[in-house]
Structure 1
Amino acid sequence: MDIRTVSGVMPVREEDQLDWQHLRDYLVREGVLPEDAPDLCAVQFPTGASNLTYLIQSGEFVAVLRRPPHGPLPPRAHDMGRESAILARLHPHFPKAPRPYAYCGDPSVLGVPFFVMEYRPGVPLDASFPEGFAYTPDIGRAISERAIQALAELHAVDPEASGLVQFGKPEGFLRRQVDGWIERFHRSRTDEEVPDADVVMAWISGNVPDSRDVTVIHNDFKLNNMLFAEPSYRDIVGIVDWEMATVGDPLLDLGVMLSYWTEPSDPPALQSLFPSVTVLEGFYSRQEMAERYAEATGRSVHDLKFYYVFGVFKLAVILQQIYVRYKMGKTSDARFARFGDGIRALVSHARAEIG
């Protein structure tokens, strides 16, 4: 295998380069690589807008490396040690989660905390299928079903038996989430106005439902965090990006997934911000996804409006946290230049959904 031929990777950006020799030596010391392992080579996954993710190779050994983004970081965010520890406990109970190989918090190795994990050779889905792929509506239905099944399987993991209960505080979880994301919005505000933001935050804060269940949740469950097997794209071979995973209200995961699940009738600004294959004929609507989740889990989705609006608001906050770093000159990634318009589009959509 040659990682340079993997679909969707690119050469490592100059600003994101790491000391690959130090990394090789560290992995040898940790027993991940043998003493005679060849030098490492690396490519980068360009799609993530948060943590930096690399595909690394030494001979036949191939793995994924994750590290935090550049610039000032929100408190407790981008915790590589926590994500690695969650995967170590989750993988035996939920095989779609990759197995971690090593975590390093010693800044003398690469200058930042990082962890290395198993590589799953699947493809995430974003705006389109690969060129030449013969899409049919039954494929959209199959992918919709697989996504719901995977979410139901995750929410069936026992927090106590898996040891994951230590990574969450279920009591008051939903209220803390709401208060925390509103605080993040204020803390990352730029000098640009965001109309309707105060209205949306007030509605979310005043409409927090009572959580009925506590499960393991991904907290960023969406299509492009799922890896689909080629060439059919009907099976999920892995789910990645467990940075925000915790133990809490499972309907938060549903709300997050639906906030990315673009429909053909959505405002053009929203479709432009998050172009998605879900607009194609055959994919379930957001309402159908919610109904299938209720059928698969036995849970009520009566308060779906809250979870969806909150999911959309969280997206706006995530973009704003990235955008403020861009405006401060902490990253030069040109993708982030339009995030200001994206924040306003998301908040406007959330306001329209409130009614």
Structure 2
Amino acid sequence: MSQDDVPGLDLESLRHHLDQQRPGLVSGDLHAEVIQGGRSNLTYLVSDARSRWVVRRPPLGHVLPTAHDMSREYRVIRALHGDGRVPAPPPVLLCEDPEVLGAAFYVMEFVTGTPFRSAAELEAIGPERTRRLAEGTVDALVELHSVDPTEVGLADFGRPEGYLARQVARWRKQLDASHSRDLPDATVLHERLAVAVPASPPATIVHGDFRLDNLLVDTADRVTAVLDWEMSTLGDPLTDLALLVAYDENARLNPGIGTDVGLAPGYPSADALIARYAAGSGRDVSALGWYVAFALYKLAVIVEGIHYRHIQGQTVGAGFDRFGGAVGPLLTRALDTLKD
């Protein structure tokens, strides 16, 4: 039995569990490596002489009981894979017994494909392919939002009633938890968002972090898998679209902080992506300004949290000293978006 040095993954215990639950699945010694990506959950590539799988588990150390729910991730992947319209990785098994790996985990089949994470990677494949990939991202989002949660067994996957109001309140609490300085624009923005919450369209499955680098694509630029479902729920579909737009806006406001795929030559404008989504989904996007402002607010809260951890000495590596300066431009752009 190979004991590759990967924290949080006991290969001997994993092999024993797989042999019990899926006899014949594994043939030969297991090897493992950590896969980069995902917001916080740990992701491993595990292989034997014949096959490859992906294992997902919560981060090491203490986590909140309601956070990093492996059963929710596994449930949505299994439901969508069974439906077939959204390319979700084939599920293998869910283990909720913490005695196996120290926490609940799940296993899915490895899917071949490339995650494009930067403008430099897109620039290398040229503007035409970049355009196709961006349009394919929107098309995959339209497909996800077309799935009826009830038809795939996810009718109780979330609480869509009052979803937006709860989200606004939740992100204010997140900001308060990272308080180290006064941010007057954040206070004004939160107040304006809270008093102008739009009426939501019918609820759909919401990914929660839908962007190009959470997709795998093949050499024909087709999406082979949508990854990182840890934020998924039932809610307002326009929040997914708005966050896609906000990431690209942040790339222009704060180069070098976060994904910058939207800066690549050939990548469509926000207006073009929104129009494609509207045409494909048939949804009214006339109120999207509020959603984009809220998405920028969320990004500002995330960046402020990283800044807070940095000044507390809790970050490792270079570049974190720049995060504090990125919050203001996000808040200003969000306020301007509400005015527009």
- TM-score of the aligned structures, taking structure 1 as reference length: 0.84
Question: What is residue 141 of structure 1 aligned with on the other side?
Answer: 131
Determine the structure 1 residue equivalent to 2:202: 213
Q: Which residue of 2 aligns with 1:19?
A: 10
Aligned-partner residue type, residue 107 of structure 2: V
Equivalent residue number for residue 227 of structure 1: 216
Partners of 1:337 and 1:42 lie apart in 2 by 33
Q: What CA deviation, in whole Å up to 9, does each residue of 1:224-264 have, x standing for no partner?
A: 1111113x5x2111110111211221111111111112488
**Post-superposition offset of 1:220:** 1.1
**Residues 195 and 344, structure 1, Cα contact 8 Å, conserved in 2:** no
- The residue number in structure 2 matching 1:240 is 227
Aligned twin of 1:65: 55
Q: Which amino acid aligns with 2:144?
A: L
The range that moved more, 275-284 or 288-297, is 275-284
Kept in 2: contact 1:122–1:237 (CA 8 A)? yes
Match of 1:273 in 2: 257
1:204 aligns with 2:201: no
Displacement after TM superposition at 1:335 (Å) = 6.9
Query: Corresponding residue for 1:125?
Result: 116
SS of 1:150 mapped into structure 2: helix
Report 1:1-355 matches (<5 A): 16-31=7-22, 34=25, 37-73=27-63, 76-93=66-83, 94-130=85-121, 133-135=124-126, 137-186=127-176, 188-230=177-219, 232=220, 234-262=221-249, 266-267=252-253, 270-320=254-304, 332=316, 338-355=322-339
TM superposition shift of 1:59: 2.1
What secondary structure, in the 3-state scheme, does the structure 2 residue paired with 1:166 have? coil
CA distance in 2, matches of 1:333, 1:109: 32
Q: In the alignment, is the contact (CA less than 8 A) between 1:262 and 1:271 conserved in 2?
A: no
Residues 89 and 225 in structure 2, CA contact (< 8 A), matched pair in contact too: yes
Q: What is the SS of the residue equivalent to 1:65?
A: strand
**Partner SS state of residue 92, structure 1:** helix
1:6 aligned residue? none
Go from structure 1 to structure 2 and tell me whether the alpha carbon gap of 1:201 and 1:70 turns closer, same or farther (over 3 Å shift): farther
Which letter does structure 2 place at the counterpart of 1:19? D
- SS of aligned partner of 1:282: coil
| Letter aligned with residue 189 of structure 2 | V
Cα distance in 2 for residues equivalent to 1:109 and 1:323: 36
Bigger Cα displacement from structure 2, 238-247 vs 46-55: 46-55
Gapped regions of structure 2 (runs ≥ 5): none
Cα displacement string for residues 288-315 of structure 1 (whole angstroms, at most 9, x for unaligned residues):
1111111111111111111111112222
Q: Percent identity?
A: 36
Question: 1:221 deviation in Å?
Answer: 0.8
1:156–1:131 Cα change, 3 Å:
closer
SS of 1:165's partner is coil
Amino acid at match of 2:119: S
Post-superposition shift, 1:129? 4.9
Q: Deviations over 1:115-145 (max 9, x none)?
A: 111211111112135499441x222221222
Provide the aligned C-alpha RMSD in A: 2.8
User: 1:327/1:45 Cα in 2 relative to 1: closer, same or farther (>3 Å)?
Assistant: farther
What SS does the aligned partner of 1:18 have? Answer: coil
**CA contact 2:134–2:268 (8 Å) conserved in 1:** yes
Q: Distance in 2 between matches of 1:72 and 1:110?
A: 14
Structure 2 CA distance for partners of 1:209 and 1:75, relative to 1, 3 Å: farther
For residues 207-236 of structure 1, what are the alpha-carbon distances to aligned partners after superposition, in whole Å with 9 as ceiling and x for unaligned?
Answer: 210012221221211111111113x5x211
- SS at structure 2 position matched to 1:227: strand
Contact 2:119 2:262 in 1 (8 A): no
Q: Confirm or deny: 8 A CA contact 2:122 2:264 kept in the other structure.
A: no
Letter in 1 for 2:229: W
* CA–CA distance in structure 1, aligned partners of residues 9 and 315 of structure 2: 16
Q: 2:34 touches 2:45 (CA, 8 Å); kept in 1?
A: yes
The letter of the residue matching 1:305 is: G
